[in-house]
Amino acid sequence: LPESSNSLQAYAKDKLSDQMVELFEACQQQACDLKRKEVCRAQLQLDIQRVYAGARLYLTGSSMNGLGCRSSDADLCLVLKGKVSFTVLKTTATTINLMMFLCFIAYVERTQLIRAKVPILRFREKGSDLQFDLNVNNTVGIRNTFLLRTDLRIRPMILVVKKWARHHQINDASKGTLSSYTLVLMVLHYLQTLKEPVVPSLQRDYPECFNPFMDIDIVPEGPKHIPPYKSTNQSSLGDLFRGFLRYYATDFRWDKQVISVREARALPKINSQEWRNKYICVEEPFERNNVARAVHEKAKFDAIKAQFAESCRILQERKDLNSILPVRAVI
Ligand code: ATP
Ligand code: MG
């Protein structure tokens, strides 16, 4: 995973880009962070197998896809009997059972159930600040974790965007703003739709590697055979970040377009149940539902748009990351 920062320097020849690299290097997940998550995952899997024989526990999300910060939680997906066809009722019942069970595990504390469309068990490793979010059989999170093959610039771009959004309080789906996953897809969409794209659509170009029905155990293997994508785009990190803010502040039509990373373009918003009356439409690349459905209040939507506009304006005038994100404070 770790790219040499030397090669990243090629995209960081101005102050803003330099600051982005600095922030990235200070905040990106370290090998020891991943190791800690992995040790905990392996132990939990052993313990859970005492009640659910044959269950498999996968680390997913930013811990695994190269987009993690040192402070990122560890997302876990528990796969029971390798079957995806669990009913919602059964998934919820299993999650609640599991919550009871976790209460008796010595190295777990502060377990809570989050009642979202996909129920989540949130808990901490005892005595540490490591937080876990566990779901049962929501295997789409495993599939989309391996969808990403990164150009050098993607990881710093996404890390800076996540920090920026969190700083401005627009990165919390439980408070009606954008989830990290939504932000990731928004960045990828912008990078895919540039005149010279920085990111391809792997699903469009290699459909056989991303068949949504592929057995979950071989999902991590599929993308390994895809040759690296070579972009002709030489833009600096700073230019890409400014372009990202500008795209959503002025070009993107929130009321008429759906972001589709699957097709590497903006789709026209048709009047289907998934998109009707939604302020922000971002398609999940496998399930094709709206990952931004948490944004359901006009006031929150307006605040998100206003933040894009304001930061875009400020960064246009002052080419300094600190003007929109105090770097020292977030490291
Ligand atoms: P952070 O570093 O802030 O934790 P993250 O990339 O882990 O960011 P989360 O919002 O924690 O993002 O989501 C964790 C993972 O769960 C995502 O990377 C994705 O694989 C999956 N996921 C999250 N939301 C959805 C969704 N609505 N539909 C499908 N998969 C999702
Ligand atoms: Mg996460």
pLDDT one-digit tens code per residue, 101-115: 998 999 999 999 998
pLDDT reading at 58 higher than 60: yes
Task: Answer yes or no: is pLDDT of 200 > 80.
Answer: yes
182 CA → ligand 2 middle, Å: 12
Arithmetic mean of pLDDT over the chain: 93
**Of 283 and 219, more confident:** 283
d(CA 63, ligand 2 centre) in Å? 7
Query: Quick one: pLDDT at residue 162?
Result: 97
Residues with CB under 6 A from ligand 1: 60-62, 67-69, 72-73, 75, 140-141, 144-145, 162, 179-181, 184, 284, 291
Q: Which of 63, 166, 181 for mutating ligand 1's site (highest number of atoms within 8 Å of CB)?
A: 181
Name the residue with higher pLDDT: 331 or 314.
314
Is the pLDDT at 6 greater than 80? The verdict is no
ipTM over 0.90: yes
Place of tokens 């990952």: 291
226 vs 258, higher pLDDT: 258
pLDDT at 2: 43
**Atom 27, ligand 1: residue with shortest CA distance:** 291
Instruction: Tell the residue nearest (CA) to atom 23 of ligand 1.
Output: 181
Task: Give the model confidence (pLDDT) of 120-130 as tens digits.
Answer: 999 999 999 99
pLDDT band at 300; cut points 50, 70, 90: very high
pLDDT of residue 132: 98
Residues 119, 91 contacting (CB under 8 angstroms)? yes
